[in-house]
Chain A
Amino acid sequence: NAGVTQTPKFQVLKTGQSMTLQCAQDMNHNSMYWYRQDPGMGLRLIYYSASEGTTDKGEVPNGYNVSRLNKREFSLRLESAAPSQTSVYFCASSDLGNTIYFGEGSWLTVV
């Protein structure tokens, strides 16, 4: 089982560049999430999608956009990357919101 797959694993961007983080899950889960993790800050929710066709802001949505392309896929886009967006990004999925399964993470550096 692949579980939650996110790409790319590593990326270096220049300030102002755009990019999309891709995420797909094969567990038929309704809910999907994007978190960022910074040292000492824990996991902070950027956006989530409770079900196909819906998206909602989390704690730190500024500078990001998301697309729930279908039940399997949930992408995160940085339109104009800033150094403050240097972080580790985790995609996750859940069926009922009480147990979530994470992807392996994407390490993003903005210079």
Chain B
Amino acid sequence: GQSLEQPSEVTAVEGAIVQINCTYQTSGFYGLSWYQQHDGGAPTFLSYNALDGLEETGRFSSFLSRSDSYGYLLLQELQMKDSASYFCAVSGNDYKLSFGAGTTVTVRA
């Protein structure tokens, strides 16, 4: 089976940097991805890491260490609109995507 762990809540002020960690256990690991979900909305794709290292997409970056079964999502220059839930997810060779319980990020003025 697959299991993922991520913090339940993070609070920060506008302009700050937030790092959301994710540790996972899975067989047949293909990659780690991150999704954002605003209240009442659908999850939307943010980033995907299949190889070790850092992927940067604008203010958001994602990191993966396959040997440590660990990754993180880095949110920089936080804005009020970044208040949302963030989910890490692992994909395997069976095309199944399993999600963590999510991290609620609250951005304060």
Contact = CB atoms under 8 A, between A and B. Distances in A.
Interface of A: 31, 33, 35, 40-45, 48, 50, 56, 58-59, 90, 94, 96-105
A100 B31 CA distance: 13
Interface of B: 8, 30-31, 33, 41-45, 48, 50, 87, 91-92, 94-102
24 contacts: A35-B99, A41-B101, A42-B87, A42-B99, A42-B100, A44-B99, A45-B96, A45-B98, A50-B94, A50-B95, A59-B98, A90-B43, A94-B95, A97-B91, A98-B30, A98-B48, A98-B50, A98-B91, A99-B45, A100-B97, A102-B44, A104-B41, A105-B41, A105-B42
B94 A56 contact: yes
Contacts of B98: 45, 59
Contacts of A44: 99
